[in-house]
Amino acid sequence: MIPNLARKYSMVKRYREIIDTLLKYEFFYLAEKLGVSKTWLFKTKIKQKYRSRAAGLSRPERARRVLEDLGPTFVKFGQILSTRRDLLPTKYIDELEELQDSVEPFEFDQVKNIIKSELGYNLNEVFISFQEKPFASASIGQVHIATLFDGTDVVVKVQRPGIKSRIESDLDILYNIAGFLEEYIEESRYYHPKEIVDQLARTIRSELDYTQEARNANVFHNNFKNNPNIYIPHVYDKFSTRRVITIEYIDGIRSNDLKEIEKNEIDPNKIVTYVTKAFMKQVFEDGYFHADIHPGNVLILNNNKVALIDFGMVGYISKELRYALIDSLFLITNRDIPQFLDLLRDFDIISGHMDTVALQQDIEFLMYKYYGRSVDQIDTPEMIKETFSILRTHRAKIPPNISMLMKAIVTLEGFGSQLVPNFNATVIAEPYAKKLIRERVRPDKLAQGAFTELINVIRAVRKFPAQASHILSSAEKGEFLINLELKWLQQLVYQINTASNRIAFSLILSAIIIGSSLIIQTGIEPHFWGVPVIGLVGFLTAGILGLVLVIYILRSGHF
């Protein structure tokens, strides 16, 4: 009972921190949606109190500051949103990519206690030396440089104490907020808040488990063990757990340190080519790619060799999706719009309720822009951004792994452009794409695909009698229901009701006019200026009602 009360109190306190941070950066609309009073006096006081914190900052900058102030869960939330160009405008994406995840380091005594708890040994029983001052400190953990007893230099990442419970509490709050948004704010449903929080939960829980990062690094190490130009650091599994990971230390030049690159006579073209080829191998051959290739994760070694580090964020792309990406590029450059739309439907990116005519027009304009261009003439990041902008406008739903891949490609292009002006990753990707196409049409692959389809047909045929029997049985019991959605039915019913009301109104008006005319002809008393009063009242009423009807019709615009 007491732990539950303490947890609820902690969540209420955290909610208050979130609301306070939103107000601090003048996100009053969001705060109001979450239940804050709308009174002008309250808003005025808050504005006066926090005006200096938000002054001079754009809305995207304020959004980034909110996430940074709220800590690791929200920073990671922003990093995930930065991969979703289908949801946010470019100015927000660009700002979220600048999110900083750095905090004050925790005490060294806590580091020693965690290592003792996780590895079962004291610090001096595992490492001959261990730097007390962290090499880097982030919200989830911090990194120390150490040396094993065999003389190998390593980096040791230690998870921050209490961070797991803090993140789980934040996830509960985000799930509550997402549920509230979907239930009460209709415009938010397009963004699928619960699905975004699901993606965040999977990602951040994976990052909290350092054994997952170790597995990722081992996969990449195995995939590139025969590549003379790419080096993946060794993971010491014996000294790695869920909260501690020990990896070989790489002493290299950061790939954005242009002075050191020039000083050591390093060829930037080779570096960019090696990294890009490595990425294309990951995407087109392995289906397992490093999703965060920025200069800090690319180190240059001797003889122009390149080391890739930090495997906390990786993406997976299936063989089917790899084929689809090749198809989409071919269809865009050849302006085959119907086939491109079919491809989007196959992956549930677009659905039947969309205005496909408008979508087709926008895609046609995009295709016209790139039609007939050679590979080296295509600005890949720009084309990706334009494509996502169109899909966002038409509220298409992009799978997270595709969004992550597109962000990784844009990041790679940015990395390459820093070292080599006019860098174009598409040129390097071309041979890998052609190789995948050749593989796809190989006789054995075609036979394998045909065999798979045959198996699917056989399974469907086997299941059909049972499914048909179930449908007939349900129909006999009166349990067979058909959900039929008629598009615009509600609007049609409204229009019919409106028209019916107007007709009824007009008939009543006509009856009043005819009745008043008959009364005047009969000369029924009393009279006013020789005319029956009842008839005059009838005509006056008919005139007023007629005027109301005319005004209503004119205002509706349907006449």
DSSP, residue by residue, 281-337: HIIIIISEEES---GGGEEE-GGG-EEE---SSEEE--HHHHHHHHHHHHHHHTT-H
Mean pLDDT, residues 297-306: 89
Q: Mean pLDDT score of the chain, rounded to an integer?
A: 79
Catalytic residue among 86, 170, 292, 310: 292
**Low-confidence winner among 106-115, 135-144, 245-254 (lowest mean pLDDT):** 135-144
| 56 compared with 177, residue with greater pLDDT | 177
| 375 compared with 343, residue with greater pLDDT | 343
**Low-confidence winner among 199-208, 361-370, 442-451 (lowest mean pLDDT):** 442-451
Residue 451, pLDDT > 50, answer no
Contact 152, 129 (CB under 8 A): no
Mean pLDDT, residues 397-420: 85
Model confidence at 107, pLDDT cuts 50, 70, 90, reads: very high
Count of CA atoms in the C-beta half-sphere (13 A) of 76: 24
C-alpha closest to that of 162 among 213, 107, 121: 107
Contact 290, 221 (CB under 8 A): no
Mean pLDDT highest for which of 45-59, 257-271, 328-342, 409-423? 257-271
Alpha-carbon distance of 145 to 132, in angstroms, equals 9
Helix (H, G, I), strand (E, B) or coil at 57: coil
Residue 45, pLDDT > 60, answer no
| 37 compared with 247, residue with greater pLDDT | 247
Helix (H, G, I), strand (E, B) or coil at 157: strand
Q: Is the peptide bond before 268 cis (omega within 30 degrees of 0)?
A: no
292 is catalytic: yes
Residue 318, pLDDT > 60, answer yes
Share of the chain above pLDDT 70, in %: 71
Alpha-carbon distance of 71 to 167, in angstroms, equals 9
Mean pLDDT, residues 96-107: 81
Model confidence at 43, pLDDT cuts 50, 70, 90, reads: low
Residue 116: the pLDDT is 96
Mean pLDDT, residues 157-175: 91
Residue 331: the pLDDT is 79
**Low-confidence winner among 46-55, 272-281, 344-353 (lowest mean pLDDT):** 46-55
Model confidence at 544, pLDDT cuts 50, 70, 90, reads: confident
Residue 108, pLDDT > 70, answer yes
Q: Which amino acid, one-letter code, is at 46?
A: I
pTM: 0.71
Model confidence at 308, pLDDT cuts 50, 70, 90, reads: very high
Residue 58, pLDDT > 60, answer yes
Give one DSSP letter per residue of 23-52, joined into a string: HHTT-HHHHHHTT----HHHHHHHHHHHHH
Residue 10: the pLDDT is 74
Q: For 149, phi and psi rounded to 5 degrees?
A: -65, -20
| 282 compared with 346, residue with greater pLDDT | 282
Give Cα 379 to chain centroid, integer Å: 23
HEC assignment per residue over 386-431: HHHHHHHHCCCCCCHHHHHHHHHHHHHHHHHHHHCCCCCHHHHHHH
Share of the chain above pLDDT 90, in %: 23
CB atoms closer than 10 angstroms to residue 466:
9
Alpha-carbon distance of 52 to 58, in angstroms, equals 13
Residue 406: the pLDDT is 84
Model confidence at 40, pLDDT cuts 50, 70, 90, reads: very low
pLDDT tens digits for 195-246? 888 988 888 898 899 999 999 999 999 999 999 999 999 999 999 999 999 9
Residue 549: the pLDDT is 64
Residue 117: the pLDDT is 96
Residue 150: the pLDDT is 93
Residue 474, pLDDT > 60, answer yes
| 500 compared with 492, residue with greater pLDDT | 500
Q: Which amino acid, one-letter code, is at 397?
A: K
Model confidence at 447, pLDDT cuts 50, 70, 90, reads: low
Residue 282: the pLDDT is 94
**Low-confidence winner among 158-172, 423-437, 503-517 (lowest mean pLDDT):** 503-517
Model confidence at 477, pLDDT cuts 50, 70, 90, reads: low
- What are the C-alpha distances in Å from 495 to residues 79, 505, 523, 526, 558? 46, 15, 43, 44, 11
C-alpha closest to that of 156 among 218, 243, 90, 98: 243
Mean pLDDT, residues 57-75: 88
Residue 51: the pLDDT is 55
Residue 41: the pLDDT is 38
Residue 1: the pLDDT is 47
Mean pLDDT, residues 461-487: 62
| 510 compared with 49, residue with greater pLDDT | 510
Residue 188, pLDDT > 60, answer yes
Name residues whose C-beta falls within 8 Å of residue 316's C-beta, 6 or more positions apart in sequence.
287, 288, 289, 401
Residue 4: the pLDDT is 58
pLDDT tens digits for 116-131? 999 999 999 999 999 9
